[in-house]
Structure formats: C-alpha cells, structure tokens
Homo-oligomer: A and B are copies of this chain.
Amino acid sequence: MYFSARGHEVTVLDNFAKRGLELQHGITPMEEIAPLHKRVERWEAETGHKIAFEASDLLEHRALYRLLERSQPEAIIHYAEQPSAPYSMLGLNSAVYTQHNNVVGNLNLLFAMKAHCPDAHLIKLGTMGEYGTPNIDIEEGYITIEHNGRTDTLPFPKQPGSFYHLSKVHDSHNIMFACRIWGLRATDLNQGVVYGVQTDETKIHPELCTSFHYDDLFGTVLNRFCVQAVTNYPLTVYGKGGQTRGFLNILDTLRCVELSLQNPADSGEFRVFNQFTEQFSVLELAELVRDAAADHGIKAEIDFLANPRIELEEHYYNAKHTKLLELGLEPHLLSKVLVEQLISHIQRFSDSIDPKVMIPRARWRQD
C-alpha cells in the first residue's frame, strides 16, 4: 500500500503461511485481517490504485521464475519468511520448517533473479538479531579487522540467538555470495524490533489494517506491554530486563525500504543497513509503558518472568545505524505520548484480546 500510494506498480506474492501458523497455534491478530482479495479490492476502491497479487510460494520455483519473467520487477522487497524466533524454537519441526522455508525460498529467489531480472534490486528483510550481543560496537554488515599486522574488511561476525535468527544469517551469506558471483545487487535491512500499529495507508479503512500481534509467537515486546497495560495484566519482563535491542516505529519501516529503493545497491554489491532508530532495554520499555499508562489512568505493574530464552540479561550493546539516516531517514522517536496513542488504539479492541496467548510457550532450553 505504501508503494502503491506513491505510484509504484506493485505485485504481491503471498503463500498465507503466517495465517496458517496462526490457526495452528490459536493466535489471532488484534484487529481482524481481511482476506488479501478483499484488501486489494478495498485498496482500489479507496485509492484508485491497483495492486496485483499472486497466491504462490517462494518454494514453488517454477511459478516464481514465471512471475519474475512476466513482471520484470525493478526491485523485489523480500518479506516472505517465517518471522518468529519463538516459533522456530518450539521444536524440531518448527526449526526445520523455518530454516527450510526461509533459506530455500531465498535461494529460489536468487536463482530466479539471476535468470530473469539480474539487474533488479533485492531489498531483503534481515534482522538486528543476526549480530547477537557482542562485546564490541556492532557495525553495519562489515567490520575492518586489523590482525597480526594485516587488515581486511570482512562480514561482521554473527551470533544469532534462535533457529529463526540463524536462518537470516544463512540467507545473508547466500545473498552475499550471489552478489559476488552473479553481480546481483542487494540491500539487507537488519531491522530492529518494530512497534506501533497504524500507518497512513492502514488508516484509510479498517479492512486495510495491519496485523498487530501481542502473542508469544508473533508479538513484539512494546506492543505486548501496551496490550498488557490495557487488559490489566502485569507487564511481563523476561529475566532481569537488561536485554538491550534496537527499535523502530512502524512508520519508519517502509520509509527505510523506500530509501533503499531510491538509492539502489550497485551491481555486485551486498549492502547492509541496520534499520532501527533507538536502543532500549526491555526494562526501560516496561517502565515507559507503565508511566504512559499511568498518565492514561491505568495502573500497570511490572512482573519479572523466568526468561524462556537463553540470552545475556546484562551486556554491552552499541549498534551503528547511520546509513539510513545519511540517506534521509527522519526517525519517529518513541515517547510517552506515542505510547499513550498506542494504548488508546488498543483500548478500542480490548474485548477481543486473549490474554492466554501472551504466556511464552517456546523455551530455548526445552528441558
């Protein structure tokens, strides 16, 4: 919708895998998501813009080759991956599904691009979670290392924290190689944790709303805290809450894709942008939501749960994120006012919220 509204000719490929996973795990987004057919009709009725779509799958490489041959895209925005770390940690099947779906789907896309649109710009959704929490500054994709009197600029060492994050590291290596040997051009957007719910496009009509998750599998932390505040549940911090990560507003996510699109990578270049705007610890976010909720007349408490993940709860974290700013990103920063707006929005749907799905099911140690 963001790109269609700006005059781009957009084709969506969707296999509806996430809706399937939602059904399997008893999860629904906070707002009902209309079928894609309906959404596309609604978008055209409201804006006059057509969005083409194809119900297909990156694992169906023949259909993918035909689509790229026919549509000759200038850019491919690749969001088509299983996106949940906790889902990938449920057990063997979900780990294998995640790595197979993500890695093979991405490989098929690289080969299809080589065959039919080798000059197209691949904009791939990565994750800041590829880096883990090293004890040195995190650079954007590469680091210059001086070692025993010699120097090279090499891929930044990765320490991903789930089978999902590992799948993204595998993708990054595969894409880097495809750029090097075939001259493809790619931008890997190592995205931080997204918060927020509405964009200018989703506001046009309820049938255009985005998928807002507060559950243990697809939910993100700030969104979940706001839902917990609204439904009078304690804000559940895992462990000590010192886990620090990069965050960004949903409004900035598509702007980052747009900036990448407007400033494509060179042929043969594998470019990495760290796509977040601010760092927070989990506890800082819980305190912010508690304070914003108080201003809104809600008394929220903070609860410290045993951490289901294996991760450092006290660590150094300083990740660079200047490249998108240099291209013109003007961040929407987090504030108490913004959290209050989010809380207000969630209150409209409080009757449909299922608090059970906020209890973490996936345990990293599984014993």
Chain A residues proximal to chain B, CB less than 8 Å: 61, 91-92, 95-96, 99-100, 103-104, 107-108, 111, 114, 134-137, 143, 145-148, 150-152, 154-163, 166, 169-170, 173-174, 176-177, 180-182, 310, 316, 364-366
Contacts and interface: CB of A to CB of B under 8 A. Distances in A.
A147 B137 contact: yes
B151 A173 contact: no
Nearest to A147: B136
A137 B148 contact: yes
A92 B163 contact: no
Lowest 5 CB-CB distances: which A-B pairs, in order?
A154-B157, A135-B152, A92-B111, A136-B147, A170-B170
A365 B158 CA distance: 27
A182 B147 CA distance: 32
A13 to B, nearest CB: 18
Nearest to A364: B181
Contacts of A173: 158, 160, 166, 169-170
B160 A177 contact: yes
Nearest to A177: B166
Given A135-B151, A136-B147, A136-B150, 10 more contacts: A99-B104, A99-B174, A103-B170, A137-B147, A150-B316, A155-B157, A158-B173, A160-B173, A163-B177, A182-B366
B157 A136 contact: no
Contacts of A146: 136
A151 B169 CA distance: 22
A310 B135 contact: no
Nearest to A133: B152
Contacts of A364: 181
Nearest to A169: B173
Contacts of A159: 154-155, 176
A163 B171 CA distance: 11
A158 to B, nearest CB: 7
Contacts of A107: 92, 95-96, 99, 163
B365 A181 contact: yes
B166 A150 contact: no
A61 B95 CA distance: 13
A118 to B, nearest CB: 9
A310 B100 contact: no
